[in-house]
């Protein structure tokens, strides 16, 4: 069975990055393309609850987008506000996403992973995943979690079947 190509949107949340130096966003886009998915939208916004929520809400309402991956704004300090912006939009929270990310990340960065507030959820039949802004964290999140769960051939279960059944 060949992998079902999903339509993915990538959002970078940062007060310092630009489209020219958004290496984490670039990494996620390339990873999705390498897995034969379609990257249909990409944006970069400041770490502001309402700017984040506006873009994510628009994408959730777009029936052509099945998965949203956000990088940045998940830390515990300063203006990090991605979880506060996104979590109220969820119909269901994927509790295991943040838990497993932190467990995997512990092997890489030790107890510092406790400050990672990665979250995942489902909103209007659209998957939403929030990853830290570092390249290493995005690589870990994609390679250790998202790549398999967004692969229709991954067993015993994956998220693709939830997104491709019936009307979106």
Angle at the Cα of 155 from the Cα atoms of 152 and 159, rounded to 5 degrees: 45
Q: Is 93 helix (H, G, I), strand (E, B) or coil?
A: strand
Please report, for residues 25, 59, 106, the alpha-carbon distance to residue 136 in angstroms, rounded to integers and kept in the order given: 12, 26, 13
Q: What average pLDDT does this structure show over 49-76?
A: 96
Burial class (CB in 10 A: 0-12, 13-18, 19+), 115: middle
In this structure, whether the domain defined by 7-164 belongs to CATH 3.40.980.10 is answered with: yes
Domain ranges of the chain: 7-164
Q: What is the pLDDT of residues 9-22, one digit of tens each?
A: 999 999 999 999 99
Residue 131 has pLDDT above 70, yes or no: yes
Average pLDDT value for the chain: 93
pTM: 0.94
What percent of the chain is modeled with pLDDT above 70?
96
Give pLDDT, residue 76: 85
Mean pLDDT of 147-160: 94
* Confidence at residue 2, expressed as pLDDT on a 0 to 100 scale: 59
């Amino acid at each position: 069975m060949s992998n079902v190509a999903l339509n993915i949107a990538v959002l970078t949340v940062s007060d310092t990055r630009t489209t020219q130096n958004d290496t984490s966003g670039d990494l996620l886009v390339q990873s999705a393309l390498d897995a034969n998915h379609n990257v249909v939208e990409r944006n970069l916004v400041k770490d502001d609850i309402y700017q984040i929520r506006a873009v994510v809400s628009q994408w959730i309402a777009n029936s052509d987008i099945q998965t949203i991956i956000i990088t940045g704004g998940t830390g515990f300090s300063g203006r990090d506000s991605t979880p506060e912006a996104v979590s109220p939009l969820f119909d269901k929270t994927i509790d295991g996403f943040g838990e497993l990310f932190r467990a995997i990340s512990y092997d890489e960065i030790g107890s510092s992973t406790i400050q990672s507030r990665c979250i995942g959820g489902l909103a209007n039949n659209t998957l939403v995943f929030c990853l830290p802004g570092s390249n290493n964290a995005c690589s870990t999140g994609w390679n250790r979690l998202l790549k398999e769960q967004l692969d229709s051939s991954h067993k015993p279960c994956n998220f693709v079947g939830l997104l491709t059944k019936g009307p979106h």
